[in-house]
Amino acid sequence: MPKLKLAGQSSRTALTLLAALAAAELCVWLGTPIPWMLGPLMVTALASMAGAPTHSANLLRNSGQWVIGSALGLYFTPQVSALVLAQWWAIALAVVWALALGGLFGLWLQRRHGAELAHLSPRALLATTYFSGAIGGASEMTLLAERYGARTDLVAAAHSMRLVLVVIAVPFGMQWAQHQWGLTVDASLLPGPREAQWPGLLWLGLATAAGSVLMTLLGRTNPWFMGSLLVAMALTLAGWEGSAVPTVLTNAAQLVIGVSLGIRFRREFIQTAPLWLGSVAWGSLWMMGASVLFGLALAWGTGLHPATLILGTAPGGITEMAITAKVLQLGVPVVTAFQVCRLVAVLILVGPIFKWVGRDKKAT
């Protein structure tokens, strides 16, 4: 029976990947932004919600994050890293902004849905809305919410909805801006090595894989992305220019990441508290708009390109926003630095802040 189940999952995974590949090729033909991620994401989400037996293995997403992390780390040349360090105050402001924006979103959700969630204890209600609004990783926020008795299905649904909306809306907005204002790439923000070479690619793969495994053993967040990113950054900072990551690998990585996002949207997803999902979608649009204004303000204060800081402060995931920056060539290292620092800070601070805010809330 286990063998039959494994064979069935393998078949479903293969069919899902074929559909995703077809969708990616269609998006390439249509000229959509980040086609290798958006196409697979949308076709997988639609098929999943329609009840199709879509499937993706964790190994595929981990591999995709490993490849993307390795590719992004190559952008952190000594000159670029000095630029990023010089903007430490802007990154700190972005962290404060993310915490405040997530807190306000959670407060709005509580006021809007407090009556229908009245069956929850005051502390559980606060946990549900607070962690649904926090701009952090979906799995991490859901796990934190579970500790305080929240409705984890609503928390997970909120993060899935917000992430997918951001991943779809922001790249299209950036592509439109490029067409309207002719956004050009800053040559100083391009990666160190520009061409894939052998055996440099092998050494890069082995070193970044070792970093990812180490992060996994240490129990760190997003280990396959963060481990490969940090190792590739260290190599680039040390002046290593052995090899770039081939485009075919980064395209494949985007495809499997898109699939892993799309399979979250099962048929049960659209049946889970439709009013809640509607509020999350509406609130997410407002968060994106507010973040655009904040990114423009930071661009004025730092002198960096507005598009780069809009991506750096967008309420999406690290991998997805960094992929957008890479494909559209909009300041990958700055975007990555802003998103990574925000994620780390949110993961460290969001729990203690909840304990302080909810100290007077009863658990029952």
Q: Chunked in runs of 10, what are the mean pLDDT values of the chain (364 residues)?
A: 60 86 89 81 84 82 87 80 82 90 91 82 84 78 78 81 82 72 56 72 90 87 83 85 83 86 74 79 91 90 84 80 74 79 79 75 54
Is 147 part of any domain?
Answer: yes
DSSP secondary structure, 25-75, as one string? HHHHHHT-SSHHHHHHHHHHHHHHHTT------HHHHHHHHHHHHHHHHTT
Q: Which of 223, 225, 206 is nearest to 214 (CA)?
A: 223
- Domain annotation covers residue 364: no
pLDDT of amino acid 294: 93
Token pair 């926020």 is found at 141
How does DSSP classify residue 16?
A: H
What is the rounded CA–CA span in Å between residue 356 and residue 339?
A: 25
The answer to the question of residue 362 being in a domain is no
Domain membership of residue 346 as a residue range:
2-357
Q: What is the pLDDT of residue 359?
A: 66
CATH of the domain at 60: 1.20.1530
The SS3 call for residue 214 is helix
pLDDT of amino acid 364: 47
Q: Do residues 109 and 283 touch, judged by C-beta distance below 8 A?
A: yes
CA distance 164 to 169: 8
In a domain, residue 324? The reply is yes
Question: What distance in Å separates the CA atoms of residue 52 and residue 273, rounded to the nearest whole number?
Answer: 22
pLDDT at 104 (0 to 100) = 92
State the total domains in the chain.
1
363 belongs to a structural domain: no
Residue 112: inside a domain: yes
Gap between the Cα atoms of 219 and 216, Å rounded? 5
In a domain, 170, yes or no: yes
* Within a domain: 118: yes
Q: Strand ranges (DSSP E) for the chain?
A: none
